[in-house]
Amino acid sequence: EWTPGNVIAEQVEAIRAAVGGDRVICGLSGGVDSSVAAALVHKAVGDQLTCVFVDHGLLRAGEAEQVEQDFVAATGVNLKVVDASETFLAALAGVTDPEAKRKIIGREFIRTFEKAAREVVAQADAEGTTTGEVKYLVQGTLYPDVVESGGGEGAANIKSHHNVGGLPDDLQFDLIEPLRTLFKDEVRAVGLELGVPEGIVWRQPFPGPGLGIRIIGEVTHERLEILRAADAIAREELTRAGLDRDIWQCPVVLLADVHSVGVQGDGRTYGHPIVLRPVSSEDAMTADWSRVPYEVLATISNRITNTVPEVNRVVLDVTSKPPGTIEWE
């Protein structure tokens, strides 16, 4: 029988058997999947686990703070925060192809984890606490990720999700993916059972490659600032309107390589469009565009074009999935 309790019991036993006395690290993003995976592994092996939060410079406003405050406070896991934003942005310089971006981001994640793992070992040695190398990397891969990356039976490779495809061949860790057979609603049930805070359990999905795949064109500091500002406004207004649970997620996309003409302030501008992509979904494998009330859309549009000078147009994506994927890249 499928119950969250049974899933937890089974996974805890399997993780303990696999890990033994070895050290484990987990990439924590603050999202539901990695948080629940981390809580599960923490329940299984306690302080043998160190969570690593990578700030890749592609985060939304306020995300790093949320992980440090909410998740660590609730679970007591060991957390290491790594600021790798300059490394990621340097690796992404000049890159516009979506698949290339994903592969680069996936590779840099792994390189960052490898470096963090060495530091975790060095610190433990210095403190004379636990011993041994880090052998395992925990990832919050879900069943739909597996299917969409071609890991499921007969499935085509649609996009290479950074946490499934695109891992380097010389990966020095074995992967632990305790959520690999679960759908999002099941992961949420498991998370609640494990005592993960509701604010994290109900958080809307956000892709690992972050804002890097929401800038159509090259990813730069300046473009990230523009998108971050627009995204913060959209999220704030959707939350204010009480739509967080109705909407599965709302990617905000900067068409950085497209220009549009506007009249703003003193005169003519030649800026960029921002796309709002609110969708409703059960499991992200299919989705419909959300019928967000016009007044809410109007407020978002006005606020963005009034406060983000580089944006002179806000457009709404009214495509279901299929044919359009949820993300634009």
Q: Which residues bind to ligand XMP, rule: CB under 6 A?
A: 102, 148, 159, 161-163, 205, 207-209, 249, 284, 321, 325-327
Is the Cβ of residue 22 or residue 177 nearer to ligand XMP in the bound state? Answer: 177
Minimum distance of ligand XMP from residue 268's CB (angstroms): 35
| 30 annotated as ligand-binding | yes
| 72 annotated as ligand-binding | no
Minimum distance of ligand XMP from residue 326's CB (angstroms): 3
Cα separation values, 85 from 109, 140, 162, Å:
11, 22, 17
Minimum distance of ligand XMP from residue 296's CB (angstroms): 21
Q: How far apart are CA 170 and CA 3, in angstroms?
A: 37
| 106 annotated as ligand-binding | no
> In this structure, are residues 142 and 187 in contact, taking their beta carbons and an 8 Å threshold?
yes
Minimum distance of ligand XMP from residue 148's CB (angstroms): 6
Q: Cis before residue 323, ω within 30 degrees of 0?
A: yes
Is the Cβ of residue 98 or residue 197 nearer to ligand XMP in the bound state? Answer: 98
Q: How far apart are CA 39 and CA 28, in angstroms?
A: 10
Is the Cβ of residue 19 or residue 224 nearer to ligand XMP in the bound state? Answer: 224
Is the Cβ of residue 71 or residue 310 nearer to ligand XMP in the bound state? Answer: 71
Minimum distance of ligand XMP from residue 247's CB (angstroms): 12
| 290 annotated as ligand-binding | no
Q: How far apart are CA 116 and CA 213, in angstroms?
A: 25
55, 114, 61: which is closest to 82 by C-alpha?
A: 55
| 35 annotated as ligand-binding | yes
Is the Cβ of residue 184 or residue 313 nearer to ligand XMP in the bound state? Answer: 184
Minimum distance of ligand XMP from residue 28's CB (angstroms): 13
Q: How far apart are CA 135 and CA 272, in angstroms?
A: 46
> In this structure, are residues 283 and 185 in contact, taking their beta carbons and an 8 Å threshold?
yes
Q: Which stretch of DSSP H or E encloses residue 155?
A: none
Over the range 127-155, which residues count as b (16 or more CB within 10 Å of their CB) and which as e? eeeeeeebbbbbbbbbbbbbbbbebeeee
3-state DSSP call for residue 270? strand
Identify the bridge partners of residue 316 per DSSP, sorted by sequence position: 276
| 34 annotated as ligand-binding | yes
| 301 annotated as ligand-binding | no
Is the Cβ of residue 144 or residue 197 nearer to ligand XMP in the bound state? Answer: 144
Annotated binding site for ATP, which residues?
29-35
Annotated binding site, which residues?
29-35
